[in-house]
Amino acid sequence: MVAVETLLIGVHDGHLTYRAAEESLADNEHPDAAARRLAGFGPPFGPPFGPPVNGRLIHSTSWRFDGGRIVLTYAALPDPDPATAQRFPALGATTATGTALNPSPPHVDRADVIAHAARHLAFLHRTDPAVAEAALEHPPLWALLDAYQPDVAGPVRPLR
């Protein structure tokens, strides 16, 4: 079984917020479409790789094995209703780590997933022109996300 989890990320009263929406992936539904639907963003706008509209962004940030199923996590922003959301975990929240032969940790907390998504978005803000363009529409949100150490799913550095 596969589930799609969408973390709607926003800002309220100067703090990052999130709401999580999750459901099992329906037969023949693309995970991206499920993430958009869970975010309430509707169908994609324009061509598949067109510019962001109103600063909206959905990005696949991680996956994990949880309770006998694979959970695909997407970050969606900006949250259209951040006042009803929860505050982000404190900056510097723990991060799940595995080992070389067991890369998946035995348990992944929601705080781990949220922190990873924030670091991933901070990385994309610095490296992806489409994300940088979307960020122009929501400077307070992206300023808070940029406080996270930019990262991807593993270290990016030369081996030598």
Q: Are 120 and 151 in contact (CB under 8 A)?
A: yes
Q: Would you call 30 helix, strand, or coil by DSSP?
A: coil
pLDDT in tens, the chain (160 residues): 999 999 999 999 999 999 999 999 998 999 999 999 999 987 665 445 555 677 889 999 999 999 899 999 999 999 999 999 999 987 655 555 667 777 777 778 888 899 989 999 999 999 988 889 899 999 999 999 999 877 665 544 444 5
Query: Which ranges of 1-160 does DSSP label H, i.e. alpha helix?
Result: 31-39, 110-127, 129-135, 139-145
Q: Would you call 57 helix, strand, or coil by DSSP?
A: strand
The pLDDT value recorded for residue 159 is: 46
What's the CA gap between 115 and 64, in Å, rounded?
14
Alpha-carbon dihedral of residues 22, 93, 123, 71, nearest 10 degrees?
Answer: -20
